[in-house]
Structure 1
Amino acid sequence: MFVTPKVPLNSLRHHVFADKRNFMGVPNTLNVMTNFPFLIIGVLGFVLCIGGSFFNISLKGEIWGWTVFYGGIASFAFGSAYYHLKPDDNRLVLDTLPILIAYSSLFSSFLVERVGEKVGLSCLVLLLFVSFLSIAYARVFNDLRLCMTFQLIPCLAIPIMTVLLPPKYTHSKFWLWATVAYAIAKIEGFADSKIYNANRYIISGHSLEHLCSAAGTLILTVMLLYRSIRCHRLGDLKGHP
Structure 2
Amino acid sequence: MNRFELTLLCAVALSAVAAACGPTVAQQAHYHGFADQRAWAGLPNALDVLSNLPFAVGGLWGLRAVQRQPPGVQRGLAALFFVGLLVAALCSGIYHWQPDDARLALDRCGMVPVFAGLLGLAVADRSSDRAGLWTAGAVLLWGPLSVAVWSATGNLLPWAVLQGGGMVLVLGLALYPPRPGAWGIRLGGVVAAYALAKLLEQGDHSVFAWTGGVVSGHSLKHVVAALAAWPVLAAMASRTAVGTARHTAVAD
TM over 0.5: yes
Aligned pairs for 1:156-171 (under 5 A) are 156-168=168-180
Aligned pairs for 1:58-73 (under 5 A) are 60-73=72-85
Alignment-derived partner of residue 31 in structure 1 = 48
Alignment-derived partner of residue 216 in structure 2 = 204
State the percentage of identical aligned residues: 24
In 1, Cα distance between equivalents of 2:123 and 2:155:
29
Residue among 76, 81, 88 paired with 2:88: 76
Q: Per-residue displacement from partner, 1:41-68 (whole Å, max 9, x unpaired)?
A: 112212332x2x2x4xx56211221111
Alignment-derived partner of residue 21 in structure 1 = 38
Q: Per-residue displacement from partner, 1:169-222 (whole Å, max 9, x unpaired)?
A: 688472101210111001100110011111111100000100101122233212
In 2, Cα distance between equivalents of 1:199 and 1:171:
39
Unaligned runs of 5+ in 2: 1-18, 243-252
Shift of 1:82: 0.7
TM-score, scaled relative to structure 1: 0.84
Closer, same or farther in 2 for the Cα pair 1:48/1:37, shift >3 Å?
same
Aligned pairs for 1:1-241 (under 5 A) are 5-8=24-27, 13-49=30-66, 51=67, 53=68, 55=69, 60-168=72-180, 172=184, 174-227=186-239
Letter in 2 for 1:114: R
In 2, Cα distance between equivalents of 1:100 and 1:132:
7
Closer, same or farther in 2 for the Cα pair 1:133/1:229, shift >3 Å?
farther
In 1, Cα distance between equivalents of 2:189 and 2:57:
20
| Two-structure CA RMSD over aligned residues (Å) | 2.3
Letter in 2 for 1:117: D
How many residues align structurally? 223
Closer, same or farther in 2 for the Cα pair 1:102/1:163, shift >3 Å?
same
Unaligned runs of 5+ in 1: 231-241
TM-score, scaled relative to structure 2: 0.80
Question: Structure 1 residue runs of 4+, over 6 Å off?
Answer: none
Are the aligned partners of 1:162 and 1:172 in contact in 2 as well (CA < 8 Å)? Answer: no
Shift of 1:223: 2.5
Shift of 1:23: 1.0
